[in-house]
Structure 1
Amino acid sequence: MATTPTRLSRQARREQLLDTAGTIVRTRGADGLTLVTLAEEAGVSRPIAYDHFATRPGLLLALHRRLDERHRAGITRALRDAAPSAGAVARVISAAYFACAADMPELSAVSAALKGSPEMEAVQHELTEGYAELMATALLPYSSLAPQALRLRCVGLLGAAEAIAAELNRERATDGEAVTALTDLILGGLDARADR
């Protein structure tokens, strides 16, 4: 018995398409994601996929933003449940950063597919800024630094986290070692006396 496709609202259709796009990237890699494969996998016409995303980079950027929002929501929840101490907050931030790579491998695949894209450079800057603000806000009660100085250190810590993640991906560190290293770096960056 053939089923009639359900008519979805524009937002619901976009969510369905992004769900499908995430599945494609997870199973075939970012190279397997095109507007045509998306339409086929989602069971919609090509014009629907093009209407929502216009271009492949537009689709990849939308998927990247969605995955980042999920990651940020997860870290926000984890921070809400963290014990009120510098060590606990630093560990939650570190664990959430590296869990993202394990829980959402498609995020790094999409990022890699967008390398060199001017739109992606702007999005990366925006996302890094947002993540640094999230970190700085969570760490501010435990720091002797002025808010702007702490935010700048958080930007630097994100660069360190990326370098540690590369070591993790090369299997030159374990998950536990990566979390501990980033936690220690975060805790070392909270004190204004480190400015000497």
Structure 2
Amino acid sequence: MSETSSKKMPKAQRREQLLDVAFTVVREEGTDALTLGHLAERAGVSKPISYEHFQSRSGLLMAMYERIDTRQVAMLREALQKTKRKLEDVAKVMSAAYMSCYRTSGPEQHAITAALKGDEQMEAFYQGVLDRYVALYAETLEPFCDLPKETLRQRCVGIIGAAEAISREMMRGTGSESAAAATLASLIVAWLSSRK
């Protein structure tokens, strides 16, 4: 164990340190290598410390995704506060924030998303995150369309699904971040402008 890692630090700070190390493990070794024991070893702490913070591998993966999600929502809300209140502008800002978050999170975000589909608890957590995104998108886009609420909600489900697929392509290097954001923005405008 390294001397700095094993020193007593406040619980919240230790949790953040462990999450930082977990992201490094996923980036360097993939999600299959991410166990609480391996995390403890890489972080230079005892195994019980990683269990105290996350209880299980599922708990760790959910905490990692929660960190990404919190950052993504904060980026989106901040960007929306600075934009003109017009559908095209809002769609551009939403799309740019989405792609920027994926780019800055790197391929780890998609790997963590895939790993969250491993058991019932993680599936329920991931579905809850998606439901919150759908609600946020619907709330943000509602002033710019006259669609019935349920139709708008369904279209937001589609927008988020498209955003996931487009961001995967971007991360594979098949297009630039700006092209990915422009594609998503055009879909948002088209889907909200159409009554059918």
* Partner SS state of residue 185, structure 1: helix
In structure 1, what is the Cα distance between the partners aligned to 2:16 and 2:151? Answer: 38
Q: Is 1:59 matched with 2:60?
A: yes
2:118 aligned partner: 116
Distance 1:4 1:172, change over 3 A: closer
Paired residues of 1:164 and 1:178 also in contact (CA < 8 A) = yes
In structure 1, which of residues 139, 144, 147 is the aligned counterpart of residue 146 of structure 2? 144
Partner of 1:75: 76
Does the CA contact (< 8 Å) of 2:5 and 2:44 recur in 1? no
Task: Answer yes or no: is the 8 Å Cα contact 1:68–1:107 preserved in 2.
Answer: no
User: CA separation in 1, counterparts of 2:68 and 2:169?
Assistant: 22
Q: Secondary structure at the match of 1:145?
A: coil
Deviations along 1:95-133, one digit per CA (max 9) or x if unpaired, are: 122222211022112112233322222122111111111
- Is 1:15 the counterpart of 2:12? The answer is no
Q: More displaced, 99-108 or 140-149?
A: 140-149
Letter in 2 for 1:53: F
Q: For residues 73-115 of structure 1, what are the alpha-carbon distances to aligned partners after superposition, in whole Å with 9 as ceiling and x for unaligned?
A: 1111111112221111101111122222211022112112233
Residue 153 in structure 1 maps to residue 155 in structure 2: yes
Alignment partners' CA distance in 1, 2:153 and 2:54: 33
Task: Give deviations 1:29-61, integer Å, cap 9, x for gaps.
Answer: 323322122112222211111122122222112
Moved more, 87-96 or 134-143: 134-143
Query: Residue in 2 aligned with 1:89?
Result: 90
**Corresponding residue number in structure 1 for 2:132:** 130
| Count of aligned positions | 193
Contact in 1 for aligned 2:103/2:171 (Cα 8 Å): no
Structure 1 gap ranges (5+) = none
Residue range with higher mean Cα deviation, 112-121 or 59-68: 112-121
Listed one character per residue, the Cα deviations across residues 132-177 of structure 1 (whole Å, up to 9, x for unaligned) are: 1111222122112233432221111111222323433444433333
1:4–1:118 CA distance, 2 compared to 1 (3 A): closer
1:15-54 matched pairs, under 5 angstroms: 15-54=16-55
Contact 2:31 2:112 in 1 (8 A): yes
Kept in 1, the 8 Å contact 2:138–2:153? The answer is: yes
* SS at structure 1 position matched to 2:118: coil
Which residue identity does 2:71 align to in structure 1?
A: R
C-alpha distance 13-166 of structure 1, shift in aligned 2 (>3 A) = closer
* Number of the residue aligned with 2:101: 100
**Aligned residues of 1:74 and 1:96 also touching (Cα < 8 A):** yes
SS in structure 2 of the partner of residue 122 of structure 1: helix
TM-score, normalisation: structure 2:
0.86
- Structure 2 Cα separation of the partners of residues 144 and 187 of structure 1: 13
Letter in 2 for 1:143: C
Gaps of 5+ in 2: none
Question: How far apart are the structure 2 equivalents of 1:78 and 1:160?
Answer: 20
Partner of 1:195: 195
In structure 1, the partner of 2:187 is 185
Give the distance between the partners of 2:5 and 2:61, measured in 1 at CA.
29
